[in-house]
């Protein structure tokens, strides 16, 4: 009997096939797990740097929240004080600019769960440009709250038979629950 021997060409092919199988098995058993652990380590390093910056970011976000609350509402809990300040400012402005503060309607409070939305309503009589100047001062310079709406309307004065311009100015303020 004659033994079968492999030719060099077939031995080379068999060697390449065995090497490919060994590489696949080694990759599945060791290299893929090592690469996964390396990626996990990189993710954890990134997270740890974010965690180290967390106190600074929390302080920054709290200050931004405080800025937004002050822009929206000023001091959130002083209802009568705010109402009195709005009244005194509006009456002073009306006296200086020949406007008439014809009404200061009672505030409307709307409960929104975690906060209360208070709306103060001013009724002002006078010229259009002077009323606009008052609204501008309330909205941009003095900021007792947020001017959310202005309603202009006219009424005929029955005594003098003239038409007068009025404006309802709605100022909203957010009050937090104590």
Q: How far apart are the first and last CA of the chain?
A: 103
Does pTM surpass 0.75?
no
Here the tokens at position 75 are: 């001091």
**For 103-155, how does the pLDDT look when each residue is reduced to its tens digit (9 = 90+)?**
888 888 888 777 788 888 999 999 999 999 999 998 888 877 889 999 999 99
Here the tokens at position 169 are: 């100015």
178 residues of the chain, pLDDT tens digit each: 556 777 888 889 999 999 999 999 888 888 888 888 999 999 998 888 888 888 888 888 888 777 666 655 555 455 677 788 888 888 999 999 999 999 888 888 888 777 788 888 999 999 999 999 999 998 888 877 889 999 999 999 889 889 999 999 999 888 776 5
Angle at 65 between CA 64 and CA 66, to 5 degrees: 90
The Cα 67–Cα 46 span in angstroms is 30
- Residue 136 contacts residue 128 (beta carbons within 8 Å): no
* Domain extents in the chain: 8-52, 75-176
CATH T-level topology, domain 75-176: Alpha-Beta Plaits (3.30.70)
Count of residues in the chain: 178
């Amino acid at each position: 009997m004659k033994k079968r021997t492999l030719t060099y060409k077939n031995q080379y092919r068999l060697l390449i096939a065995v090497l490919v199988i060994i590489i696949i098995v080694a990759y599945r058993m060791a290299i893929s797990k090592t690469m996964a652990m390396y990626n996990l380590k990189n993710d954890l390093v990134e997270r740890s740097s974010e965690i180290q910056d967390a106190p600074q970011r929390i302080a920054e976000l709290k200050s931004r929240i405080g800025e937004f609350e002050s822009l929206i509402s000023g001091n959130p809990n002083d209802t009568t004080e705010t109402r009195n300040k709005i009244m005194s400012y509006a009456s002073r402005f009306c006296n200086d600019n020949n406007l008439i503060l014809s009404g200061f309607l009672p505030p409307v409070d709307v409960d929104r769960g975690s906060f209360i939305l208070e709306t103060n309503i001013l009724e002002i009589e006078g010229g259009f440009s002077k009323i606009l100047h008052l609204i501008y001062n309330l909205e941009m310079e003095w900021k007792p709250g947020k001017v959310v709406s202005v309603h202009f309307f006219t009424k005929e004065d029955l005594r003098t038979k003239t038409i007068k311009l009025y404006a309802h100015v709605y100022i909203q303020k957010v009050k937090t629950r104590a």
